[in-house]
A and B are shown apart, each in its own frame.
Chain A
């Protein structure tokens, strides 16, 4: 079974702190994604990576950065956390096969910024 794991299920941080969210997948997938999920807004893409050290901005990259030093690991960094970054963060991965590819999601990290 494909497994995508996220470092924390729940996280509470203070405004201004630097926050690291880690995601690891065990299926040698090429692509990895970071989304945030907010009620009534669905999932919105923050960043995705299609190869080691390669990344592209999604729809809402402001206030975030990412790192992919190894194929299996994709990190999301909040440089200076703000209250409007309180959200559920979901990591996903897939093989990159056109059209029919399945995204496999981790269980999510619920981040609260005070």
Chain B
């Protein structure tokens, strides 16, 4: 079974701090997505990265896909309480419709 390991599992930081979440696997993916999930809701897509080495920015969030397409990172600059939530990465297995989800990082940003 393919695995996507996320680290850290939990993160509690003060407003204004920076943070990085990592998503690692031994498997190669066609693409990798990051989702954010808030309590009582389903995950919502933040970004999709497709090309090895690709970097995408979404306001204060920066996403990177590893050169070998096996890992990814999410960096948040100057975190705000509104960034609080569960962050999930999901890799698309080549030649399939199947997504493998990471174990999740629960972020809490304190005002």
Which B residues contact A (CB, under 8 angstroms)? 1, 4, 6, 9, 30-31, 33, 40-45, 48, 50, 88, 90, 92, 97-99, 101-104
Assembly CA distance A52 to B42 (angstroms): 24
Cross-chain contact B50 with A90 (CB below 8 angstroms): no
Beta-carbon nearest neighbor of A110 in chain B: B40
Say yes or no: A100-B99 contact (C-beta < 8 A), given A59-B1, A90-B42, A105-B44. no
Which A residues contact B (CB, under 8 angstroms)? 4, 9, 31, 33, 35, 40-45, 48, 50, 58-59, 90, 92, 96, 98-100, 102-103, 105-108
Most buried by A among B31, B41, B99: B99
Cross-chain contact A103 with B45 (CB below 8 angstroms): yes
Cross-chain contact B92 with A99 (CB below 8 angstroms): yes
What is the distance, in angstroms, from B96's C-beta to the closest C-beta of chain A?
A: 9
Cross-chain contact A99 with B42 (CB below 8 angstroms): no
Cross-chain contact A42 with B43 (CB below 8 angstroms): no
Assembly CA distance A58 to B97 (angstroms): 11
Chain A residues whose CB sits within 8 angstroms of the CB of B88 once the complex forms: 42-43
